[in-house]
Amino acid sequence: MGYDALGSGVVIDAEKGLIITNDHVIEEAKRIVVAFSTGFYIDAELIDTNPDVDIAVIKVPPEKMPLRAMPIADSARVTPGIRVYVIGNPHGLDYSVSSGIVSNMHRTLDYTPVEDWIQTDAAVNPGNSGGALINEQGELIGINALGDSGGMGGSIGLNFAISSNLAMKTATFLINGSEAKPEPLGIDLQDILAETERQKLGILNRFGIRIVTVYPGHRAANAGIRSGDVLVKVDKIIPITKELIGTYLNAIAGNQVTLVILRNKQEFTITVP
């Protein structure tokens, strides 16, 4: 038995009719129908999808109606505290807008391998998934994907969007049909602040970040990275904070990366293809 699902999307290429959304919005869909603010409905075809990053690209015939692509901002320049707006289809209430601020950047969550979440208190409810998180200039800074309802069925101000840089990099791979999709490493990181803990791990006089989760089947796990390893270098970058490393890993998503780790105070160099 089939079922209907609602979501949102963003036009990223008007000439080609390309729209970005979340993978979980169109997952297992037998038919994808796009509704526009003009009241026009049209069937869309799936170009490709990357479930690891929760991004999908669909296509509508651009000759059927005029489209306008949303301008895209560099999410690496987004800072906490700026005002943002969520646009989408919450609970089927189409073309709704909610507002808030960016609460934090470069979040990692322990139930997803995505390494570059934007946290916002702007309401993200069921149906907002795949829609735009925009700045005050009307530019896309993220694709809304997750909202914590606290078990109440609605937004409690703890919501997350995939950064525009990661979303667009993923979309570019999908559109070009590349087999080398930008899969995340599949790790969660944690800053180590307590001096006693840093001494115990052998990083009292150097920077290091703990790898708290390694997702099975992802790149880091396949390369031999383990939960509990301490990351002391990423390529030539010293991991001062997990936010710094999250930004760097997002920028090189899908590329080979060399990690220097401490495991039981012994240093290892591991290349992740």
Whether 218 is a known active-site residue: answer: no
Of the candidates 13, 24, 149, 227, the residue annotated as catalytic is 24
Q: How far is CA 166 from CA 13, 28, 88, 261, in A?
A: 17, 23, 20, 25
For this structure, is 94 an active site residue?
no
Which of 75, 98, 103, 129 does the annotation list as catalytic?
Answer: 129
β-sheet bridge partners, residue 163? 142
Evaluate whether 15 touches 138 at the Cβ level (below 8 Å): no
Integer Cα distance of 213 and 228 in angstroms: 8
Residues 161/170, Cβ–Cβ less than 8 Å: no
**Cα 212–213–219 angle (5° rounding)?**
130
Q: For residue 187, which of 255, 253, 109 has the smallest C-alpha distance?
A: 109
- Residue 87 forms beta bridges with which residues? 97, 132
24 carries an active-site annotation? yes
Catalytic residue chosen out of the listed positions 23, 52, 54, 116: 54
The dihedral sign for the CA sequence 194, 195, 196, 197: positive
Q: Which two tokens stand for residue 267?
A: 């240093």
Annotated catalytic sites, by residue?
24, 54, 129
